[in-house]
Amino acid sequence: GAVVSQHPSRVICKSGTSVKIECRSLDFQATTMFWYRQFPKKSLMLMATSNEGSKATYEQGVEKDKFLINHASLTLSTLTVTSAHPEDSSFYICSARRPPNYGYTFGSGTRLTVV
Partner 1 sequence: DAKTTQPPSMDCAEGRAANLPCNHSTISGNEYVYWYRQIHSQGPQYIIHGLKNNETNEMASLIITEDRKSSTLILPHATLRDTAVYYCIVRVAIDGNTPLVFGKGTRLSVIA
**Closest distance to partner 1 from the beta carbon of 91 (Å):** 7
86 versus 103: smaller Cβ distance to partner 1: 103
**Closest distance to partner 1 from the beta carbon of 51 (Å):** 9
Decide: 103 and 97 in contact? Cβ < 8 Å. Answer: yes
109 versus 114: smaller Cβ distance to partner 1: 109
**Closest distance to partner 1 from the beta carbon of 83 (Å):** 26
44 versus 76: smaller Cβ distance to partner 1: 44
Give the residues lining the site for partner 1 (CB under 8 A): 4, 6, 30-32, 34, 36, 43-46, 49, 91, 93, 95-97, 99, 103-109, 111
30 versus 114: smaller Cβ distance to partner 1: 30
DSSP state of 86: G
Decide: 100 and 80 in contact? Cβ < 8 Å. Answer: no
**Closest distance to partner 1 from the beta carbon of 16 (Å):** 26
Instruction: Quote the CA–CA distance of 57 and 23 in Å, as a whole number.
Output: 17
